[in-house]
Structure 1
């Protein structure tokens, strides 16, 4: 299970600590919480594993509570194993909150950001850190803004095709091993392992540094995965789709990605095919499907005759 130290949050967002509690606690989930219902006394569905955010609303509310009730609710809140409490806008917390957090051993932190802005930044950071990921064999390139994940058996020509695309002005993201991460919104983003970033292996030639050979504009650190291109050896007995009406799909980390299968045989310009695949994907995203348009025109022609 992935975890993040609260100390990393302090360093990342330049948080100020308001008590002496140790900051060795850990965050285990990407969600954050504003404990409004809990401050009102309702703890049935409290999620103590989340980072707790106190903004103007929460602090204004607890200041209106009678002191005995305030102390009771804050002590109950801080009796849970909370990773940390963060106060936005550098607001001054009531002494009762400082004491309750200290007694519960919970770090009480403060940020200059507004509540909404800080929650947005913190959530984005935690989602990125907690996003599930997997490493897959293949090549990831960016072609006309479309992320193509090229896969296929070893030696089929993935790296050579990617190099041809780079020469045409497109960008390499990862060769051989692609680390794929799923974000909460259901998008896949791929990157290269740090060790092999910007490097490519070409059989018969060896390892090359794409950034050094073609410049900084020939590579990028990460890219969304929009289309899977699977290369396979041309099989004369196989019936390949010639219209493109039946769309293939593949699931990675529970995200479904459109896929095209490209048969490989000598003399076929794979880089050009992939460029067209990327442009065709963009057209489909904009609402135009050439295969459906052609089929419709063909049906109308047959009916008229």
Structure 2
């Protein structure tokens, strides 16, 4: 879990620039929430969340410009606190001259963005939520199959990485091998990515570590992906029972998200890559409203009813 992001990292990642206070670029941002201090500017200070980035847009600036210079100074004295990580002004609106010395005294960098305020707010929130969200490290191989984020899990040596390599050769993409970092960006969405040191690398027993990007090109990898399906690979020793019809729905809860899970037996002669492709396409069909199991059961019920009528 990343506890903080520096203002410098924010500027390097998003379309935001330093207007003043670049010497304070190491200021740390610890909250993914971004505040628009409209009520604070009008004098209502009771619930001022001063430890967040303060975003000022066209509406706030128009209100500020309607005040005298002395009134603006008093407003900015309330807005600027030692704990405030940064002030961002959207639409490249000129920075009010009264704000500059007050922000400097509190060591607050002032940033400007070209986009409209709502776009800046969305970009800031998305970036900070991704960087500051609680993270869970899970053992497995994360691949994109037909645009679907599929996490392959199972015992060590079951063939996860080898299966991923065959999927890559068939045109699919690697996100992470061995260890996947998962974090939640909203109540329904989990994102998975590789730790920076493991990006693009795949370990194949007997061969060692290969660089997938170098061998297969940039189209064979991606940095992150939404987790939509978990497939557990299990060595088939005859002791496990498997769902023959696919009517049993199993899920795994990660944080607050329930992720569908499928168990696949591994034994000689099974082409796991093809089966995983079929599992991904079947899951996508279910999401779109077509369930092969329900279709089969409906046909079976109709056949039984027909045979009963013929026997009467």
Would you say same fold, with TM above 0.5?
Answer: yes
Q: Report the TM range for the smaller structure's normalisation.
A: 0.7 to 0.9
Alignment of 1:242-253 (within 5 A): 242-253=244-255
The within-5 A match list for 1:1-305 is 2-12=3-13, 13-18=15-20, 22-65=24-67, 69-79=71-81, 81-184=83-186, 186-304=188-306, 305=308
Change (3 A) 1:115 1:240: same
Moved more, 7-16 or 123-132: 7-16
Compute the displacement of 1:137 (Å). 1.4
274-283 vs 157-166, which deviates more?
157-166
CA distance in 1, matches of 2:46, 2:116: 28
- Greater Cα offset, 139-148 or 18-27: 18-27
1:154 to partner: Cα distance:
0.9
- Residue aligned with 1:183, SS: strand
Aligned counterparts of 1:242 and 1:57: Cα–Cα separation in 2: 61
For the residue of structure 2 that corresponds to 1:92, the secondary structure is coil
CA RMSD of aligned residues (A): 2.5
Greater shift after overlay, 89-98 or 54-63?
A: 89-98
Label 1:205 to 1:300 Cα distance change in 2 as closer, same or farther (>3 A): same
Number of positions where the alignment pairs a residue of Structure 1 with one of Structure 2: 305
Name whichever of 33-42 and 11-20 sits farther off: 11-20
Give the Cα–Cα distance (whole angstroms) in 2 for the partners of residues 253 and 24 of structure 1: 31
Deviation, 1:181, is 3.2
SS at match of 1:223: strand
Q: Deviations over 1:155-193 (max 9, x none)?
A: 112122222222323222222222333323642232333
Q: Describe the SS at the equivalent of 2:84.
A: coil
Q: Which runs of 5+ in 2 are unaligned?
A: none
Worse-matched range after superposition: 190-199 or 157-166: 190-199
Rounded to whole Å, the distance in 2 between the matches of 1:221 and 1:59 is 38
